[in-house]
Chain A
């Protein structure tokens, strides 16, 4: 995004500044609940958030860029969260990590704030209960893209989803195309004589593999009837 500095357009300068901002995010991990476990997993060596530049957690809001709201926020906690957010200096971004921070999660009751976006503007929502570390890193990359493209005004005004709509649509289409083929191929048991294309049928060996469940899927019912006829 172009800005005016005393009458001069500064595009290259902005992109350099945003580049440096996105790869040196100082995080404030506002961790309250179970999502903290997955935050720790993403931050530690196996998944390693420091590859993305967001290495050090700064436990003071004055020194932090990104507020990671990790876990359930109750109404009792909400004034504290608001104070922490207000103490952070601009430019700042907020990540709602997990289902409870995004929307209240599965707690719909008298004590849980139904999503922190009722309180403070949120830039990124990472869904999951808790989200896998790979989802956390994917979200972080999206936030970095939005910082690069939109700069400090990314704060709740131009959400990434709208900006990169076409890219997201391509990703989803690709996902649905490959999933049908790859899922069935990879599920093939070597001992079975099932056909690997989506039109597979259960063989005699596998049609009664879980009688204790007491439920037959439509595919299973059809195949059982077909086998009975045989």
Chain B
């Protein structure tokens, strides 16, 4: 059995986190937290600063994150964390061969965030998927509607309070003896 590597050995010291220090200088007050694992950084920022930070990351020659890799959300209801939702953005820079993860925390009753589709076109469908699965509204998105589920579906299935196997059939199904109770631990 290999020995467990402690987090301290893999965590790069704060002085070596280039992107974090750059963001803290350019956008004072926006960065609320960060960590870094073997040189790959994660920065937690305020929701109000998202659009300007993303534009800076794309346009500035020191960062030049050309590729928007992923956009997803985490529902932290079962971890008993507030704010409930955490948006996770992954960026990749080809010129500097670097990746960055950006996190934004959203409260349950106010899950709206600015859309960044005008910066990266690929974000369009990612934001639609986030809206479909979590119910997070992206302000400024040109066509925010469901992408994976059908329009008649009620609710947002990847939220933790949606019973995972509650079915909403579109056509009338034959009656089958249901012995299963909806919910995750049934």
State the A residues within 8 Å of B (CB): 75-76, 78-79, 82, 108-111, 113-114, 117-119
Q: Is the CB of B169 within 8 A of A75?
A: yes
What residues of chain A lie closer than 8 Å to B168, measured between beta carbons? 75, 110
A114 to B180: give the CA distance in the assembly, Å.
12
State the B residues within 8 Å of A (CB): 148-150, 157, 162, 164-171, 173-174, 176, 180
Q: Which residue of chain A has its CB nearest to the CB of B169?
A: A75
Q: Is the CB of A110 within 8 A of B166?
A: yes
What residues of chain B lie closer than 8 Å to A79, measured between beta carbons? 170-171
A96 to B12: give the CA distance in the assembly, Å.
54
Interface SS of B by simple majority = loop
What residues of chain B lie closer than 8 Å to A117, measured between beta carbons? 174
A117 to B175: give the CA distance in the assembly, Å.
10
What residues of chain B lie closer than 8 Å to A78, measured between beta carbons? 169-171
Q: Is the CB of A75 within 8 A of B165?
A: no
Q: Is the CB of B170 within 8 A of A110?
A: no
Interface SS of A by simple majority = loop
**How far is the CB of A74 from the nearest CB of chain B, in Å?**
9
A199 to B176: give the CA distance in the assembly, Å.
46
What residues of chain B lie closer than 8 Å to A76, measured between beta carbons? 149-150, 170
A-B contacts besides A75-B167, A110-B167, 11 pairs, CB < 8 Å:
A75-B168, A76-B149, A76-B150, A108-B165, A109-B165, A110-B157, A110-B164, A111-B148, A113-B169, A118-B173, A119-B174
What residues of chain A lie closer than 8 Å to B150, measured between beta carbons? 75-76
Q: Is the CB of B166 within 8 A of A82?
A: no
**How far is the CB of A90 from the nearest CB of chain B, in Å?**
20
A118-B162 in contact given A75-B169, A76-B150, A113-B169 (Cβ < 8 Å): no
Listed residue (A78, A108, A110, A119) with the most chain B CB atoms within 10 angstroms of its CB: A110
Q: Is the CB of A109 within 8 A of B164?
A: yes
A76 to B157: give the CA distance in the assembly, Å.
14
A113 to B166: give the CA distance in the assembly, Å.
11
Q: Which residue of chain B has its CB nearest to the CB of A76?
A: B150
What residues of chain B lie closer than 8 Å to A110, measured between beta carbons? 157, 162, 164-168
A216 to B44: give the CA distance in the assembly, Å.
48
A118 to B150: give the CA distance in the assembly, Å.
19
List 8 interface pairs A-B (beta carbons < 8 Å), by A numbering. A75-B150, A75-B169, A75-B170, A76-B150, A78-B170, A108-B180, A109-B165, A119-B173
Q: Is the CB of B171 within 8 A of A82?
A: yes
What residues of chain B lie closer than 8 Å to A109, measured between beta carbons? 157, 164-165
A76 to B153: give the CA distance in the assembly, Å.
10
A110 to B164: give the CA distance in the assembly, Å.
6
The 8 A-B pairs at the shortest CB distance, nearest first, are namely A118-B173, A110-B157, A76-B150, A108-B165, A79-B171, A118-B174, A78-B171, A109-B165
**How far is the CB of A96 from the nearest CB of chain B, in Å?**
14
What residues of chain B lie closer than 8 Å to A75, measured between beta carbons? 150, 167-170
Q: Which residue of chain A has its CB nearest to the CB of B166?
A: A110
Q: Is the CB of B164 within 8 A of A118?
A: no
Q: Which residue of chain B has its CB nearest to the CB of A118?
A: B173
**How far is the CB of A20 from the nearest CB of chain B, in Å?**
32
Q: Is the CB of A111 within 8 A of B149?
A: yes
What residues of chain A lie closer than 8 Å to B173, measured between beta carbons? 113, 118-119
